[in-house]
Amino acid sequence: MKTIEDEKEEAFNIERANNEITQLLEQYRTRKDELELVDDDEWEESEIQEDLDAYARKINAIKKQIKEYKKRAKV
Condensed to tens digits (0 to 9), the pLDDT of residues 22-39 reads 999 999 999 999 998 888
Mean pLDDT for 62-67 is 94
What whole-number percentage of the chain has pLDDT above 70? 97
pLDDT computed for residue 16 by the predictor: 95
Long-range contacts of 8-11 (CB under 8 A, 24+ apart): 10/69, 10/70, 10/72, 10/73, 11/73
**Number of domains into which the chain is organized:** 1
pLDDT computed for residue 4 by the predictor: 84
pLDDT above 80: residue 43: yes
> Which structural domain range is residue 35 located in?
4-74
